[in-house]
Amino acid sequence: MAIEMEPIGFVHTEAEKVPIHWRFSDLEGTLTIEDKYLEGLRDIKPGQEIVVLFHFDRSPAFSPNFLVQTPPHMNEAFGVFSICSPRRPNPIGLSVVEVLKVEGPVLYVKGIDMYDGTPILDIKPFIKEKEQGDA
Amino acid sequence: MAIEMEPIGFVHTEAEKVPIHWRFSDLEGTLTIEDKYLEGLRDIKPGQEIVVLFHFDRSPAFSPNFLVQTPPHMNEAFGVFSICSPRRPNPIGLSVVEVLKVEGPVLYVKGIDMYDGTPILDIKPFIKEKEQGDA
């Protein structure tokens, strides 16, 4: 029962080394989305934080060895579902970046922690809090 | 260049109608993860908020009609990448739920907005803020 995804675009950065996590990153780069999705970007504005889901396309295949891992910046091991390691059962990454500028299908962003050429799977609004209401 | 994913488990809820978004939801249910991933859950504790990525398995195939949509609880249309609609190029959903209890591979959670039987793709820590530091 495989679920198939296709890239909607690609990350570009000129950095040779990227920060290990978006929460430590000020690195700038671009998200170039396919022209056919251009209209879907129309409400993304400078200053917004957005969620980017992407494919960890350079990760090794998952194995039981990766169920518990010690992140590179920590001294302690954690279950894979409590950390952001690229070695996970489904290699989907999640980063939050700040939009600096939008030019057609190209989003200039800050906070990159993906490698150059990383396939993007989705962009979503970044929602931090619950709301009171009855919707 | 299709990217293949497999469910790591499934959402269960007895509600016939689910809230339209996790930020409005107090609905309780369970996330039942496959036994082979049990060790990866070891650091998930009651009280934590976790990100759940899942497959919108009942969404229609994406079409250009869905590039701009009016969410059911709004009076305004938005580009698909600025809303959480299940009708999106790659049908991946993101919800934040609160962990109530962990029993082996079953997470009891609050804040469900997925249908019963929804395939789960990943669980990640919920990180809201940037950090100062040089890691």
pTM of the model: 0.94
The pLDDT value recorded for residue A1 is 66
A78-79 and A92-103 beta bridge pairing: unpaired
SS3 of residue A54 by DSSP: strand
Beta carbons of A30 and A104 less than 8 angstroms apart: no
Q: What is the pLDDT of residue B134?
A: 47
Per-residue pLDDT tens digits of chain A, which is 135 residues long: 689 999 999 999 998 888 888 988 899 999 999 999 999 999 999 999 999 999 999 999 999 999 999 998 889 999 999 999 999 999 999 999 999 999 999 999 999 999 999 999 999 999 998 886 544
Q: What number is the ipTM of this complex?
A: 0.94
Separation between Cα atoms, residue B112 and residue A85, nearest integer Å: 25
Residue percentage of chain B with pLDDT more than 70: 96
Q: Does B121 touch chain A (CB under 8 A)?
A: yes
- B90, B94, B126, best to mutate vs chain A, most A CBs in 10 Å: B90
Return the structure tokens found at A118: 């990383």
- In order of their start, the domains of chain A are 9-125 (2.40.30.70)
Q: How many of the other CB atoms lie within 10 Å of CB of A88?
A: 25
Torsion of CA B70, B86, B4, B109, to 10 degrees: 140
pLDDT for B126 beyond 70: yes
| Strand boundaries in A6-45, DSSP class E | 9-12, 28-33
What average pLDDT does the segment B89-105 reach?
A: 97
What average pLDDT does this structure show over B57-69? Answer: 96
For the cut 90, the answer to whether the pLDDT of residue B103 exceeds it is: yes
Q: Give me the residues of B, 83-112, that contact A with CB < 8 A.
A: 83-84, 88-90, 92, 94, 96, 111
Do B81 and A36 count as a contact with CB atoms less than 8 A apart?
no
